[in-house]
Structures are given as C-alpha cells and as structure tokens.
Amino acid sequence: MNGLLVLDKPAGMTSHDVVNRVRRATGEKSIGHLGTLDPMATGVLPLLLGKWTRLAQFFSSAEKGYTGAIRFGFATDTYDAEGEAAGEPKPLTQTLDELRVLARGFHGEIEQTPPAFSAKKINGVPAHKLARQGKEVPVKPAKIHVHRFELTSLEGDTARFVAEVSAGGYIRSLAHDLGALAGCGAHLTELRRTKAGVFTLEQTMTLERMDELAATGELEAALPHPRTILPEMPSVTADMATAGRLRNGMTVNLPEFSNAPLVKVFEGQRHIIAIGKRVAGTLIQPTVVIG
C-alpha cells in the first residue's frame, strides 16, 4: 500500500508501536513516521506507507503545534511525568502573569538542549538507550524556532499551554527550562500534538478506525488524495513516454510546469511517479523516483 496515513496516536504507545500496528493491519512493511511522539503524547502522527517513504525528506522541516500541561515544583530526569524526580520539591511562587513573562523569553530562535531521554541520535545510537544504560549522554544544543509558547491557565502548580515550534524542537525541554527559570523546577505532564506541518487533528483517524478500514479493504481509498500532499509543489501530469523517461532518471520537458523549483509528476490522476526539479525553463530532472 502506498500513501499517507495521518493517525491520532493514543497515549501509552511509542511511535514504533504504532508503526507495527499499521504493518499488521495493512501488510505493508515499509512504513515511516514523520516526527516521533513520546509514549505519553497523543495526537497527529503522519505515516508514509510503501514507496511513499521516499518522500520523507520533503516533510522534514514541518513545524509542529501542541497543547499540554506543565507541573511546577520539581524537574525529572526525562523532563516529563514518566521520569524520576531530579532534586527536592520546591513551591511555585510565581503567578500566571509572571510565568507568562518568563515563557516569552523562549520566543524566536533559541538554542535548546534535547532531553537525555530522547530519540536524538548520538553516534547513531538513540540518546534514551545510552541514558537507560547509565552512560554519559553528550547531547548538544541545537537551534530551533519557537513561534508560540503561551501559558493559558494556572491551577495550583499546573499550567496549561499552547506551543508551536520548528522541526527538532522538544516541548519537554521548554517545560524543563521554564521550570529552571521559575526557580522551582518543572516537567511536562500532558502533551497533545495538534498540528504537524499541514496536517491537523481534523484530518486524523484513530487506530480502531484504521483497523476497520483495513479489514474491509477500504483504507487506501480513505487516505488523502495524492495530489493534495506537499501542496507547495504544483502537480503535473506526464504522458506514458515522459513517465517512462522519468522512471529511468532522465531529464524531460513538461510544458505545463510553473516556475516553482519542485513539482509532483503524476501518471493519471492518482499515481505519483516522481518529484522533479526544474533545471531550466520547462526542463525537469527527477530528484526522487517513486515508480
């Protein structure tokens, strides 16, 4: 099965668990998720199936949106509620307005240190595997862009928030760093991804619905139409001879192509065969051949 499946990930499952569930339901072995979600987190998890996994590079810079909750009073080693307390509890002394002022300091481009317990690769090994083995985890700060980090309410020691961050940003680190600024520590207790690039919660389906559609053979028809993916790229239809040349990696002329740098090339209405790069004028070189 080739396509894009946008799921509403439930809590308690890793992103890898979700991939395995989809493999069992569809029989498709080649599946990749676009942006890991922690087991505690829920929400938008886009998956590329079959030959469409070759398109993953074009989704890598997608921004993410979240809602969730942060508990103040102590930090944890994982930066979330699944970890062990790191230090003695301290009372939260700031008001909501004072915490909002601190949160504004994270807006814009910042350097963020990922949690040691994360999927960040260190010499090819996920950081969380090293951390669980008690080994030193030399995670390095990375530049990210925080488009929004707004606290919406505060009840007791728990604040609710809305956040929008660039690819590679960790909400757990925002919670941890905000707690450090507040002087009492903090950790993430709830996280729901509401947006991943152009994909929103309204476009998701549950795992249960996915199972039902897969069992009746209706899942592929329920996936987003191929021409709606990567909307920043124009869609161009190639005739049979041109499609054959593209499949062989050859440069072709596509007169109907616009001046956009990249284009989706289709054979018929639904069969995407390649992503092409404009070389000059109407001359297109395939950068990714899907088949």
Residues constituting the chain:
291
| pTM for the whole structure | 0.87
Residue 200 to residue 195: CA distance in whole angstroms: 4
* 39-61 tens-digit pLDDT: 899 999 999 999 999 999 998 77
User: Token pair of 251, please?
Assistant: 């440069």
Domains and CATH numbers, the chain: 3-62+198-224 (3.30.2350.10), 64-192 (3.30.2350.10), 227-289 (2.30.130.10)
User: What CA dihedral angle connects 128, 168, 73 and 116, to 10 degrees?
Assistant: 20
- CA 16 to chain centroid, in Å, comes to 13
* 253-274 tens-digit pLDDT: 887 666 788 999 999 989 999 9
The DSSP 8-state label assigned to residue 184 in this structure reads S
Query: Tell me, what's the pLDDT at 59?
Result: 86
Cβ-contact 186, 176 below 8 angstroms: yes
Cβ-contact 6, 205 below 8 angstroms: yes
Catalytic residue list contains 38: yes
Has residue 159 got a pLDDT over 80?
A: yes
pLDDT grade for 118, boundaries at 50, 70 and 90: low
Q: Which of 38, 97, 157, 239 is catalytic?
A: 38
C-alpha count within 13 angstroms, C-beta hemisphere, residue 203: 20
Amino acid 136 reads: E
Has residue 200 got a pLDDT over 60?
A: yes
Query: Tell me, what's the pLDDT at 129?
Result: 57
Q: Which residue has the tokens 């991939």?
A: 19
The DSSP 8-state label assigned to residue 233 in this structure reads S
Has residue 164 got a pLDDT over 70?
A: yes
Has residue 33 got a pLDDT over 90?
A: no
Q: Do the strands 121-122 and 108-112 form a parallel or antiparallel pair, or are they unpaired?
A: unpaired
* 179-195 tens-digit pLDDT: 999 999 999 999 999 99
